[in-house]
Structure 1
Amino acid sequence: MPLVTTTRTGLVDQVIAQMRELVASGEWPLGQRIPPEAELVNALSVGRNTVREAVRALSHAGLLEVRQGDGTFVRATSELSGAVSRLCDSELRQVLEVRRALEVESARLAASARTEADIADLEVALRDRDAALAERDRERVVRTDSHFHLRLMEASHNPVLVQLYQGISEAVQSSVATTFDPEVPPERAVSHTELFEAVRDGQPERAAAEAGGFLDELLAEFEPEHP
């Protein structure tokens, strides 16, 4: 999506809206630096103060991160995700707890609401995840594992649950990357086969138990120490 020249009214709001869309669409990818201020000024035909105010607003919302001397980077793809990222940056356990709450319920609902198309998509997502685990490719594991869980959310056919999960997608991916150990042989890695089978076979309680089981194991590893 190319930047377009703004009109004279509501300049800051217009710039914010364009930048937000560039982030949401992926044209400005997560973790990447956005164009420098001078380039944005020229592309938008606005003053530096307008660009700076828009960047400041999106930084406050959590979508952008200004790194002095290094530029401005995409921090999150939505305000909700940005807020979650700020809250959970240093608390992996909190992210895992939120994941458990959402993923257990999505698995339970998916086992009752899934369609044949959902089952087919989940099977492909699971196969991709297992292939990534076999290769011990961290980046691919993060991507495919997150995609499997998102498809599980979508199979619940609860749009609110899906939107909530999408809102914490960056935090979810970060938790997967942090807990993935490439030294663990694929056959000992967490398997989602039984979770998939429970959903496929229409067994809500079994699906919920499978979804919560591996997260409970991870949570046990990060149990806070008490003096």
Structure 2
Amino acid sequence: MAEASQPRRGRVVPQVEDALRAMFGEGRWRPGERLPSEVALAAELGVGRSSVREAVLLLAHDGLLDVRHGSGTYAAQEPRDAREARDVRQLLRRARLLEVYQVRRALEVEAARLAARRVRPEDLTRLTGDLKRRQKAAGAGPAAFVDADLAFHRTVVELSGNAVLLGLFAAVLPVLREELVEMVVHETGLPDLTCAHTALLDALADGDPDAAVAATVKNLESVMTHIAEEEQ
């Protein structure tokens, strides 16, 4: 089993929560099994006890943990009806995300086409920086990664020079961010789209609208296909 990654500087509690969720995903604790003490978890993750305590309370609120005062914290025994309710919520979330992605694809395809025709050297420098930050954020937790990813895509939309496209993208962004963070936290087998992002940057650098559209479609439809397959 892989060692738990230590949270980086920043919003510590969400990072501790992500680390604990990852441990659950790895099967570190069986249902009903007692977790290590707050002191032990804090030492393992390299954070303070208060951060661990807050993260534990968040996970208890989500039903993953059972905090028993005077006894300790245990991995929750999930009843069948709770599992079924969770599965229904997950199906609804995927359906909503697929609809959001359909809107996102329509906006970003046209934005990529327009951006390829008007991008400047200084714009490419900005995009390169956005892409590097996205790559660095891959190990910084779901929220940090999603924020870095969306920053890259927002820059592309801005470079389209179309204020209406940018306004529509900005309107969709809060819902998109929320759904993407949930997807990164809960979904497995998500495609690695680093190459598609690099291909988009290369297409913009070449001033090639068709290649920019192709890279954008590959990026977004890979995720849409994954969502649709998980619904079946």
TM-score (normalizing by structure 2): 0.53
Which residue matches 1:211?
A: 216
- Show the counterpart of 1:155: 159
CA contact (8 A) 1:198 1:207 kept: yes
Paired residue type of 1:179 = M
Whether the 8 Å CA contact 1:111–1:202 is kept in 2: the answer is yes
Q: Which runs of 5+ in 2 are unaligned?
A: 1-92
Contact 1:100 1:212 in 2 (8 A): yes
1:5 corresponds to which residue? none
**1:106-128 CA-partner distances (Å, limit 9, x unpaired):** 11111111122211111111110
User: Kindly, what percent of the aligned residue pairs are identical?
Assistant: 30
1:47-69 per-residue CA deviation (whole Å, 9 max, x = no partner) reads xxxxxxxxxxxxxxxxxxxxxxx
Q: Match for 1:198 among 182, 186, 203? A: 203
**Separation in 2, partners of 1:183, 1:92:** 12
Selected match of 1:116 from 93, 116, 121:
121
TM-score after normalising by structure 1: 0.54
List gaps (5 residues or longer) in structure 1.
1-87
Deviation for aligned residue 1:168:
0.9
**Is the 2:142–2:184 contact (alpha carbons within 8 Å) kept by the matching residues of 1?**
yes
Give the equivalent residue in structure 2 for 1:223: 228
TM-superposed CA distance for 1:223, in Å, is 2.6
Aligned pair count reads 138
CA RMSD of aligned residues (A): 3.0
Offset of residue 213 of structure 1:
0.8
Question: Could you list the runs of 4 or more consecutive aligned residues of structure 1 that deviate by over 2 angstroms after TM superposition?
Answer: 178-186, 221-227
Give the letter for the 2:213 counterpart. Answer: A
Offset of 1:172 from its aligned partner?
A: 1.9
- Alignment of structure 1 residues 17-96 onto 2, 5 Å: 91-96=96-101
- In the alignment, which residue of structure 1 is the partner of 2:171? 167
Return the structure number with greater helix share: 2
Whether the aligned pair in 2 keeps the contact of 1:146 and 1:172 (CA below 8 Å) is no
Q: Aligned equivalents of 1:90 and 1:216: distance in 2?
A: 15
